[in-house]
Structure 1
Amino acid sequence: MGTRYTALFYADPGIDTDDVGQRLAHAVSRVDQQMSTWKDDSDLNRLNAAPEQDWVSVPKELCTVLSAALRVSQQSDGAFDIAVGDLVNAWGFGPGEQTVTEQTLGTIPSRVRLLASAALMVDPQRNQARKRGPLNLDLSGIAKGFGVDELARCLEDFGITRYLVGIDGEMRARGVKPDGQCWAVALEKPNRGVREVMGVMELSDAAIATSGDYRHWVDVAGQAYAHTMNPVTGAPLCNRLAAVTVVAASCMLADAWATALMVLGETEGPRRAQERGMDGLFVLREGDQFREISIVGGQMQAQIETR
């Protein structure tokens, strides 16, 4: 996935940590092989290349992620959608060698042709999927979270119930440390080109994921374009949100909803989080400062301004 994964856990004496390490590596490698857009032979790219209207057999894990992606797409009114592969590539964020310049900016398609929620059929019973139109699927907004859930499942298969696992900034925790303390997870300040901690969140029996505009972007004629695509406009995001962090039961859902709320924007995003009873942190850009909107259990908390 182009990044690193981590697993910190407490287990009974005598556990074979080499075996645990091998199982963890296998778990994330399996997700990468199934869902990567960067691997020509991945199961996702096999589905992308398949003829329209043909049912394609896919691994159970990929079928699970596709089904979850369609549900979040419907629940977010299309703010989260996986049929943005063409746009991701056109803006230079995909596996191709496309580079966006001021001269090529006007040649990029302005709209997604079809939403996956309207043109992708998934059959979880038979582990099959079918495209009803031209779709280029990209699971970057949900697969990493699923990979974190697979790391957690792997540890639980060993009977380990106190852990913190993560892939890059997506994390999932269970239990507490031996001293009774929760797991501490740092939240990054959304400054481009600078790694700085904005705050710390304590986590137990929950997952956390962040979507932001500060890690991956392109600069064209002095304008920064973030890597997250808006499926409605067919272009990179253009709103005041710098980052959205979501806490949920699974990292797959936290990952997808962080993206969806980021796309929904600074007004509709918090409103939707409240409506769904979610836990989330919205960080808005206001000049050279940030404003935080915290929502816990669907209830708006005090808004905080930070530099």
Structure 2
Amino acid sequence: MSRTSTDTAGGARRVSLSGPTMGSRWTAVWFDDGRLDPMEIGRALVGAVGAVDGQMSTWKPDSDLMRLNRAAVGYWHDVPANLAVVLAAALRIGRASSGAFDIGVGRLVADWGFGAHAGRVDGLAGTSGPLGIDTLEIDGAGRRVRKLAPMSLDLSGIAKGFGVDELAGVLDEAGIGSFLVGIDGEMRARGRKPDGGAWSLAVERPEPDRRSVHSVVELEDCAIATSGDYRHVRETGDGRISHTIDPRTGGPSRNAVASVTVLAPTAMVADAMATALMVLGPDEGTALAEQHGLDALFILRGADGAFQERSTRRFAATDLTATCARIGADGHR
């Protein structure tokens, strides 16, 4: 865990911590009055993301998710409370997106050469296709899950977002009212900085060979996530394919969308919905975003290779710069 601290002109202390998790890095930047112990908070942050990784990773054979993948069909299995929460949210978003978001794609992800089990079937159960939203039953109160068929669950489209929400929960519980936390491209902000400014984040231009800024988003009390086809890719005889799987076809998503950025009250929802909109494509995706009142920015590849934009709600209203509305104190779940 790395740390940097500086004092601002207004007297507030700026603290920045980061560390490895989920094959990427978590980051946390906050402002406080100097009375808190950053290392104590840092240990809580490490514990929070470590718990999510230990429960939901497909890279750890002994994770709760992988044990569930190997568990017998037709029986109730106990799971940690947070895993039950994420599984239930994934099913809700799967239904809302008509199956465009499907956590049953684990075997397909491996078949197409991505993820922890790329090209292999060890540790994975089920057929070569996703099994949909009606093959998993969740008893949230009892923290139990029952599989109705063999399946290979993969939470890579939602777990990082939940991890970001857990980071936010740690800082909320510490009474910190101004922070920005993130894992990879999923971020969540609380409050404003001491100078009164919102937290500014860049939306990346979806180009595989370089990093550049497409637009800037201002965050206050909300989360942001981006899904794209330009980082995790591989070359095949049929050309370049993305890691995003379309559960409806059983293959990599193929449409004009280069990336989708979503604003939502929680990073978990933003993460999963960005994936769903990416799969649905520009027309169905825009329709779903508008139906559910989502703030979404689609960056599309035109026939001539030039980028085009399509946006909804705050993105459309503020020329690609958006500030989320305030959410309730319980919004970190």
- TM-score (norm: length of structure 1): 0.92
Name 2:197's counterpart in structure 1. 181
Name 2:264's counterpart in structure 1. 248
Deviations 1:257-286 (A, max 9, x none): 000111111111011111111101001001
After the TM superposition, which parts of structure 1 deviate over 4 Å for at least 4 consecutive aligned residues? 299-304
Name 2:309's counterpart in structure 1. 292
1:161 CA displacement? 1.1
Report the 3-state secondary structure (helix = DSSP H, G, I; strand = E; otherwise coil) of the residue aligned with 2:234.
Answer: strand
Name 2:26's counterpart in structure 1. 5
Name 1:112's counterpart in structure 2. 129
Root-mean-square deviation (CA), in Å?
1.9
The verdict on how the C-alpha distance between 1:233 and 1:52 changes in structure 2, with shifts beyond 3 A counting, is: same
CA contact (8 A) 1:291 1:303 kept: no
| Cα distance in 1, alignment partners of residues 100 and 67 from structure 2 | 25
* Aligned: 1:45 with 2:59: no
1:97 CA displacement? 4.8
Name 1:234's counterpart in structure 2. 250
Deviations 1:235-277 (A, max 9, x none): 0001000000000000000001000111111111011111111
1:221 CA displacement? 2.4
Matches within 5 A, 1:42-191: 42-98=63-119, 112-115=129-132, 117-191=133-207
| Cα distance in 1, alignment partners of residues 159 and 224 from structure 2 | 14
Deviations 1:202-247 (A, max 9, x none): 1001100001101101111261110010011000001000000000
The verdict on how the C-alpha distance between 1:245 and 1:223 changes in structure 2, with shifts beyond 3 A counting, is: same
CA contact (8 A) 1:110 1:234 kept: no
The verdict on how the C-alpha distance between 1:113 and 1:244 changes in structure 2, with shifts beyond 3 A counting, is: closer
1:125 CA displacement? 0.5
CA contact (8 A) 2:114 2:243 kept: yes
1:96 CA displacement? 2.5
Aligned length: 293
| Cα distance in 2, alignment partners of residues 268 and 156 from structure 1 | 36
* Aligned: 1:263 with 2:279: yes
Unaligned runs of 5+ in 1: 100-108
* Aligned: 1:211 with 2:227: yes
Name 1:32's counterpart in structure 2. 53
The verdict on how the C-alpha distance between 1:302 and 1:251 changes in structure 2, with shifts beyond 3 A counting, is: closer
Using CA pairs below 8 Å that are at least 6 residues apart, which structure has the higher relative contact order? Answer: 1
1:288 CA displacement? 2.0
Q: Which amino acid aligns with 1:261?
A: L
| Cα distance in 2, alignment partners of residues 208 and 91 from structure 1 | 28
| Cα distance in 2, alignment partners of residues 197 and 302 from structure 1 | 17
| Cα distance in 1, alignment partners of residues 173 and 316 from structure 2 | 37
Name 1:275's counterpart in structure 2. 291
Report the 3-state secondary structure (helix = DSSP H, G, I; strand = E; otherwise coil) of the residue aligned with 1:164.
Answer: strand
Name 1:19's counterpart in structure 2. 40
1:111 CA displacement? 6.5
CA contact (8 A) 1:274 1:300 kept: no
CA contact (8 A) 1:111 1:232 kept: no
Residue number among 224, 229, 237 corresponding to 1:221 in the alignment? 237
CA contact (8 A) 2:107 2:128 kept: no
Report the 3-state secondary structure (helix = DSSP H, G, I; strand = E; otherwise coil) of the residue aligned with 1:272.
Answer: helix
Unaligned runs of 5+ in 2: 1-21, 121-125, 321-333
Report the 3-state secondary structure (helix = DSSP H, G, I; strand = E; otherwise coil) of the residue aligned with 1:53.
Answer: coil
CA contact (8 A) 2:79 2:143 kept: yes
CA contact (8 A) 1:293 1:303 kept: no
| Cα distance in 1, alignment partners of residues 127 and 319 from structure 2 | 35
CA contact (8 A) 1:57 1:129 kept: yes
| Cα distance in 2, alignment partners of residues 218 and 61 from structure 1 | 33
Deviations 1:99-126 (A, max 9, x none): 9xxxxxxxxx9962521x1100011000
Deviations 1:108-156 (A, max 9, x none): x9962521x1100011000010110011000000000000000000001
